[in-house]
């Protein structure tokens, strides 16, 4: 979640005046980071256009070396510009920009510190959030669960932006590339922004599929077995174009 508390620029939408000691040590974005920021903004805007978030809810990040570029807190994505690059180190210290990073920074950093992820997407997708309130694990309604590493777990609820939520998320993400956050939303990671986003979209689609099938009176959807899912995981290893 990106809390609704203005756009991080100070009163009236203007960046706060004066630099503190931390700001004076921050640097400008390097060429690779500037390119990654452009991709990040495109992905963040896509979460809105595809209906996965509303307003400034949700957040996106991408890792470039030991720097994590992340959407800032409370800034509408259509207002983000090239000079709004916001970056932190893996220790959470801001190293690029003056906009306040997303309040969900602990979740993003927890993923980067414990996995080989290069990108993270967090959304408040409607169907996925609805499912998070009903079950502790998304039923195996479709074989694409294999693309996320297996059955998708639901992390127990904790207040947004807290270390507790980040810890709950990590447990749900063990050996997975995505999970649901109870009464909150989704989080996925990948080796690129495109992959992390695609996993988010697939997770929301599976949640919508299960809710649709489970809503038919008098009938229960058929579910896949773990054996069937394991077979799909083997198939996916050779999926796509070889380079």
Question: Catalytic residues, which ones?
Answer: 104
52, 125 Cβ separation under 8 angstroms: yes
Host H or E run for residue 224: none
The token pair at 181 is 């956050």
Sheet bearing 87-89, strands edge to edge: 94-96, 87-89, 67-70, 59-64, 119-123, 185-190, 178-181, 154-155
CB atoms within 10 A of CB 234: 9
93, 111 Cβ separation under 8 angstroms: no
Host H or E run for residue 226: helix 226-236
User: Considering only CA atoms, which of 51, 64, 101 is closest in space to residue 80?
Assistant: 101
d(Cα 218, Cα 215) in Å, to the nearest integer? Answer: 9
Write the CA distances from 147 to 14, 72, 165, 177, 230, integer angstroms.
Answer: 43, 29, 24, 8, 11
**Residue 169 DSSP symbol:** H
């Amino acid at each position: 979640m990106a809390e609704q508390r203005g756009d991080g620029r100070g009163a009236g939408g203007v960046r706060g005046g004066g630099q503190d000691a931390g700001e004076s040590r921050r640097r400008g974005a390097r060429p690779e980071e500037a390119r990654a920021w452009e991709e990040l903004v495109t992905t963040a805007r896509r979460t809105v256009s595809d209906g996965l978030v509303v307003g400034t809810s949700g957040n996106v990040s991408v890792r470039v070396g030991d720097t994590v570029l992340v959407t800032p807190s409370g800034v509408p994505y259509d207002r983000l510009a090239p000079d709004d690059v916001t970056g932190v180190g893996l220790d959470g210290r801001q190293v690029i920009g003056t906009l306040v990073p997303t309040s969900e920074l602990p979740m993003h950093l927890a993923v980067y510190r414990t996995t080989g992820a290069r990108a993270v997407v967090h959304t408040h997708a409607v169907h996925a959030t609805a499912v998070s309130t009903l079950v502790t694990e998304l039923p195996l309604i479709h074989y694409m669960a294999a693309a996320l590493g297996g059955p998708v777990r639901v992390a127990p609820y904790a207040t947004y932006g807290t270390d507790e939520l980040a810890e709950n998320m990590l447990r749900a993400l063990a050996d997975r590339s995505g999970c649901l956050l109870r009464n909150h939303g989704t989080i996925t990671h990948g080796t690129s922004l495109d992959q992390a986003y695609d996993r988010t979209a697939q997770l929301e689609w599976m949640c919508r599929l299960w809710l649709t099938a489970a809503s038919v009176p008098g009938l229960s959807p058929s579910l896949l077995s773990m054996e069937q899912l394991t077979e799909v995981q083997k198939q996916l290893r050779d999926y796509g174009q070889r380079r």
